[in-house]
C-alpha cells in the first residue's frame, strides 16, 4: 500500500506540476519536448531488457544475484544507445522536419542509462520487500524534478526547464534504487543464476510493441500536424494517462508478486477481481468525469493559450476510462509467466490500435485522432480481456460479469454530467470540483445498485480470502 500510494502521489504530482508549468509555457514548448520524449522513453522502457518483472517475482536470495547480472548488461546496452542517440539527434530532427527537437533530444538521451538502473533495481526492491526505497524514489524523483523545473522557468527558461525536469526525475530514483541494492544484507553467495533471457526478451518485446501502439500517435501528430497540435494532444493524453494506466501500474508492482505466489486459481481470480474493483471505483469514474467536463477543465485549469484542448481531452479521457481496467491484463501474463503469449497478443492488438490511429491522423485534425483513439479502444477492450483471461486460465464469464456494470455506470455518469452542463457550466475551481464529486456519486450509486457484491469486496475481501478454503 505504501508503494501504491507513493506511485499515485508521484503521478498526481506530475500532473499538477505540468498544469502549473502550462501557465508559463505554450503548447509549442510542450510539443517540442513531447516529440523528443517519444523517442527517449522508448529506450528507457527497453533499458532493462524486460528483466524487472522477472527479478520482482524471484525469491530474495536469488534476486540480488539476478539483478546484479541484468544491470551489468543493461549498463553496457544503455550507454551505447544513449551515446548513439546523442550523436544522431540532429539527423533525427531533420528527418522529422522538426529542427527544434535536436538539442532537447540530445540531452534527454542521457537519461537512458538511469532508466536501466531504476528498472532492474526496482524489481529487486519489490522482490526483497524494500518498499520504503520504492516509495522514497517515486516521491523524491518528483520533488527534485519539480524544484529544478520551477527554478528554471522562473528565470525565463521554458523548454530547458522541461528537459532538466526529465533528466533529474530519472536520475534521482536510480541513485536511490542503487543504494537499496548496495546496502542489501541478504545477498546470495551463488555464483550462477538463470537469467531466463527468452522470457525477459518476450516481455521486452511486448513492452516495445505496446509502447508504440500508445505513442505512435504522438509521433504522427508531431510529424504531420505540427508541434503546436502535439502540445495540445500530449497534455490531454498525459492528463488522461495518470489515472488510466498509472493506477494499475502502481498496483501491478504489488499484484504481480502476489498473484505469482498464489497456486490456487480461484484465489488468483478473487485477488484479481479485488484489484480490478479498486481501479473501477478510483480511476474509471474520474476519467469519465474528465471526458464529460473536458471543455470547462481546459478553460479553468489550463487557462488562455490552450484553446482546442477540450475536444481532444473528451475523446482521450473516454478512451482512458476503458484502458484503466484493461491495462491490468498485463498482470495476468506476467504472473502466469506467459511471456510469449504476452508478446503475440500484444503484437496483434497494438497493430490494430496503430491502424486506428493512422486513420485518425488522416483526418488532418488532432480531434479526429482523439476520436479514432476512443473508437479503437472501445472495439478492442473485450478481446483484450478475453485473450488474457484464457492465458491465465480464469473464467471469462465471471470477469465480464464484473465489467459490464462498470461500463453501464460509466455511460450513465457521462450522460448525466453532460446533461447538467446544459443548465449550468462550471466556470471556476469550486463549481468544477462540485461537478466532479456529483459525477463520481452518480457512478458509484449506479455501480452499487447493479453490483453490490463489488462494493462489499472492496471493503471486506481480505477477510473473505482468508476464510476461503484452499
Q: Which residues of 23-51 are buried (b: 16+ CB within 10 A; e: fewer)?
A: eebebbbbbbbbbbbbbbbbbbbbbbbbb
Nearest to 228 by CA among 12, 27, 9, 429: 27
Same domain, 190 and 138: yes
What is the pLDDT, as a whole number, of residue 369?
94
pLDDT in tens, 17-35: 777 888 888 899 999 999 9
Confidence of residue 458 (pLDDT cuts 50, 70, 90): low
Same domain, 259 and 168: no
Does pLDDT of 407 surpass 50? Answer: yes
Nearest to 336 by CA among 227, 404, 259: 259
Confidence of residue 469 (pLDDT cuts 50, 70, 90): very low
Nearest to 61 by CA among 112, 152, 129: 129
Number of structural domains (the chain) is: 2
Same domain, 33 and 177: yes
What is the pLDDT, as a whole number, of residue 423?
83
Put simply, whether the predicted model's pTM sits higher than 0.85 gets the answer no
Q: Which of 168, 195, 222 is the last residue of a domain?
A: 195
Q: Left, alpha or beta for 457 (phi > 0: left; psi -120 to 50: alpha)?
A: alpha
- The dihedral over CA atoms of 332, 337, 343, 345, expressed in degrees to the nearest 10, equals -40
pLDDT in tens, 165-179: 999 999 999 998 888
Same domain, 150 and 288: no
Full domain range(s) for residue 40 = 1-195
Mean per-residue pLDDT of the chain: 83
Q: What is the mean pLDDT of residues 446-467?
A: 62
> For the chain, what is the radius of gyration of the CA atoms?
22
Same domain, 167 and 233: no
Q: Residues 379, 381, 382, 387: is their CA dihedral positive or negative?
A: positive
Does pLDDT of 413 surpass 90? Answer: yes
Q: What is the mean pLDDT of residues 435-442?
A: 90
DSSP string, 160-225: HHHHHHHHHHHHHHHHHHHHHHHT-S-----S-----HHHHHHHHHHHHHHHHHHHHHHHHIIIII
Please give the residue that has the higher pLDDT: either 340 or 468. Answer: 340
Q: What is the mean pLDDT of residues 99-120?
A: 92
Same domain, 404 and 295: yes
Proportion of the chain above pLDDT 70, given as a percent:
88
Same domain, 231 and 96: no
Q: Residues 391, 393, 394, 396: is their CA dihedral positive or negative?
A: positive
Nearest to 277 by CA among 9, 457, 468: 457
pLDDT in tens, 302-353: 877 788 899 999 999 999 999 888 888 888 887 777 767 877 888 888 889 8
**CA–CA dist 181, 243 (Å, integer):** 30
Strands (E), 194-307: none
What is the pLDDT, as a whole number, of residue 467?
44
Amino acid at each position: 500500500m505504501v508503494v501504491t500510494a507513493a506511485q499515485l502521489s508521484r503521478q498526481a504530482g506530475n500532473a499538477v506540476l505540468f498544469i502549473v508549468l502550462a501557465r508559463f509555457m505554450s503548447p509549442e514548448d510542450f510539443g517540442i519536448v513531447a516529440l523528443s520524449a517519444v523517442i527517449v522513453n522508448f529506450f528507457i522502457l527497453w533499458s532493462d531488457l524486460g528483466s524487472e518483472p522477472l527479478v520482482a517475482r524471484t525469491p530474495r536470495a536469488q534476486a540480488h544475484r539476478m539483478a546484479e547480472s541484468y544491470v551489468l548488461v543493461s549498463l553496457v546496452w544503455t550507454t551505447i544507445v544513449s551515446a548513439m542517440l546523442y550523436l544522431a539527434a540532429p539527423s533525427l530532427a531533420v528527418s522529422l522536419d522538426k529542427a527544434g527537437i535536436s538539442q532537447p533530444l540530445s540531452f534527454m538521451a542521457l537519461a537512458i542509462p538511469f532508466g536501466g538502473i531504476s528498472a532492474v533495481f526496482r524489481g529487486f526492491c519489490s522482490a526483497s520487500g524494500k518498499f520504503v526505497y520504492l516509495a522514497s524514489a517515486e516521491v523524491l524523483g518528483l520533488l527534485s524534478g519539480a524544484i529544478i523545473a520551477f527554478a528554471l522557468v522562473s528565470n525565463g527558461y521554458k523548454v530547458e526547464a522541461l528537459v532538466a525536469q526529465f533528466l533529474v526525475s530519472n536520475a534521482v530514483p536510480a541513485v536511490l534504487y542503487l543504494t537499496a541494492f548496495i546496502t542489501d544484507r541478504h545477498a546470495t553467495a551463488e555464483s550462477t543464476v538463470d537469467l531466463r533471457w527468452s522470457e525477459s526478451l518476450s516481455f521486452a518485446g511486448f513492452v516495445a510493441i505496446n509502447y508504440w501502439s500508445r505513442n505512435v500517435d504522438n509521433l504522427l501528430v508531431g510529424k504531420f500536424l505540427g508541434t503546436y497540435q502535439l502540445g495540445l494532444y500530449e497534455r490531454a493524453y498525459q492528463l488522461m494517462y495518470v489515472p488510466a494506466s498509472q493506477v494499475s501500474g502502481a498496483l501491478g508492482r504489488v499484484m504481480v508478486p502476489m498473484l505469482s505466489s498464489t497456486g490456487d486459481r480461484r484465489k488468483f481470480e478473487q485477488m484479481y477481481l479485488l484489484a480490478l474493483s479498486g481501479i473501477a471505483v478510483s480511476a474509471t469514474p474520474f476519467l469519465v468525469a474528465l471526458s464529460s467536463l473536458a471543455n470547462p477543465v481546459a478553460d479553468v485549469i489550463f487557462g488562455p493559450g490552450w484553446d482546442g484542448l477540450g475536444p481532444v481531452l473528451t475523446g482521450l479521457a473516454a478512451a482512458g476510462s476503458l484502458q484503466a481496467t484493461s491495462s491490468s491484463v498485463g498482470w495476468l501474463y506476467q504472473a502466469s509467466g506467459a511471456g510469449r503469449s504476452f508478446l503475440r497478443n500484444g503484437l496483434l492488438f497494438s497493430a490494430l490500435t496503430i491502424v486506428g490511429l493512422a486513420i485518425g491522423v488522416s483526418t488532418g485534425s488532432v480531434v479526429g485522432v482523439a476520436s479514432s483513439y476512443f473508437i479503437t479502444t472501445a472495439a478492442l477492450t473485450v478481446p483484450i480481456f478475453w485473450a488474457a483471461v484464457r492465458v491465465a486460465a480464469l473464467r471469462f464469464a465471471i470477469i465480464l460479469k464484473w465489467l459490464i456494470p462498470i461500463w453501464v455506470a460509466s455511460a450513465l455518469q457521462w450522460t448525466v454530467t453532460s446533461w447538467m452542463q446544459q443548465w449550468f457550466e462550471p466556470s471556476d475551481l469550486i463549481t468544477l470540483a462540485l461537478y466532479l464529486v456529483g459525477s463520481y456519486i452518480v457512478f458509484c450509486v449506479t455501480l452499487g445498485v447493479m453490483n453490490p457484491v463489488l462494493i462489499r469486496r472492496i471493503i471486506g475481501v481480505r477477510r473473505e480470502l482468508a476464510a476461503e478454503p484452499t
